[in-house]
Structure 1
């Protein structure tokens, strides 16, 4: 059996991210052959990932980043809050986000097919799963392109937002406030015109059923249902929501006070837990 030196173990650990004892064991089994030791560690990582494939990866790190008029958001999920707060895990999530911002893939599958440090990202995630000892899953990726994009990353890395504007010279405080509004109030659309007829019909049906259960007269049930739809749209659409910092005005009014021609072109919001 080859004499395994501490320097070789350290080198293998740096290359794979595996624990010291795992690296030493792999080198011993590979009789000191460095490349074979790397293969052994990756095989074990794949085996661990396979065993954990049916686990629930509901914790994680949600990250958003902007580069000019492009903003990307990812969620790297894991099994436990302990790992979600682990520095190595968070750094790995950030490296995936940086890759997304640099390469601008079309969708999640295209992102997984990109290379990170010379390896396909999907394989790197499997390797990391073996190293960390939990199921890891790149659960979400999306992006926004606009004249101006603002990101908000919530403390704890469990929530992020992106919002796009039609003008590049948006007041920074306004952009930040709108991004934080989205985080706090979780709108489903920019304006009522962006809400699908299916969603509105569902809310109208709920309103009718509620009114009937309360014994309201049939001749006013529809009016009550429409009132509930109007209330829903006010609370669920960004521009019609009350501004969290000043409930006397809506987000639409707040934005127009800054610039009458300013418009929100779209937004993203994603959270774990």
Structure 2
């Protein structure tokens, strides 16, 4: 019989999150060697985790990190909000965000072993989601914002401006978090999508019996409202709806907007 005690079993359970019988079997199979037993359990745990890989993991946590002209957003996905807001989960994703700022987007994958450990301990389909790293050039300003809900980040934004101030970039980032624009400028919206919407609005306007000579003007007005829903510069600023984001910015140019939303 392998040489180990009840305390060894308990220590292995605490370090791996395994059940008592699994911990005893792991120590037995590995001659009482705790490190080998932990590896054995992890391998078995990963086999079980693979069986969970088809489970929906639309929950998760978003972390943002920023340092000296560089910012990053990292998303870690899981199955439930209970796991998403746990200390182990939120600590890992924040650590990954800081690592991406320091070393680049590929650095997130170096934490794959830590993610595998969480799969074993938390027993959910956990995987790395979106990873974004943004650098500001000389003369540009960068700032970020993360919207938190129930102790976890659910919506992370990075904004880079040419001109302006970090405070202005932060205000725009907050705005983006709440309005979720899909484009910065109108010319970034897919032309085919615009043409389809214009045709739909024209058909709708004609069906309403509007005068022929007024149709073009009505359609353009409605198309403007459609753009306002999805184009950042057209939107009314969240802190003052009477002021558009374009007016708020003045001569300041939006260089880049990055946004990651849990489940998005």
Is the 2:18–2:41 Cα contact (8 Å) retained in structure 1?
Answer: no
Deviation at 1:13, TM superposition (A): 4.4
Alpha-carbon spacing, 1:251–1:12, altered in 2? closer, same or farther (3 Å): same
Indicate the RMSD between aligned Cα atoms, in angstroms.
2.5
Structure 2 portions without partners, runs of 5+: none
Are 2:227 and 1:228 aligned? no
1:115 matches 2:114 = no
Q: CA deviation at 1:99?
A: 2.2
Aligned residue number for residue 18 of structure 1: 17
1:82–1:243 Cα change, 3 Å: same
Give the superposition deviation at 1:67.
2.1
| 2:98 aligned with 1:98 | yes
- Residue segments in structure 1 that go unaligned for 5+ positions in a row: none
Instruction: Return closer, same or farther for 1:211/1:8 CA change in 2, 3 Å cut-off.
Output: same
Instruction: Please tell me whether the aligned partners of residues 62 and 73 of structure 1 are also in contact (alpha carbons under 8 angstroms).
Output: yes
Structure-2 change in CA distance of 1:19 and 1:212 (3 Å): farther
Q: What number of residue pairs does the alignment pair up?
A: 255
Report if aligned partners of 2:141, 2:165 keep a CA contact under 8 Å in 1.
Answer: no
CA contact (8 A) 2:115 2:127 kept: yes
The two structures have a TM-score, normalised by structure 2, of 0.85
Tell me how far apart the structure 1 counterparts of residues 212 and 116 of structure 2 sit (CA, whole Å): 59
After TM superposition, the score normalised by the length of structure 1 is 0.82
1:1-273 aligned at under 5 Å gives the runs 1-4=2-5, 6=7, 9-10=10-11, 13-14=14-15, 17-19=16-18, 21=20, 23=23, 25-105=25-105, 110-111=106-107, 114-116=109-111, 121=112, 123-146=113-136, 147-156=140-149, 157-167=153-163, 170-216=164-210, 220-256=214-250, 260=251, 262-273=252-263
**What does the per-residue CA deviation read over 1:128-149, in whole Å, with 9 as the maximum and x for residues that have no partner?**
2122100002121122222322
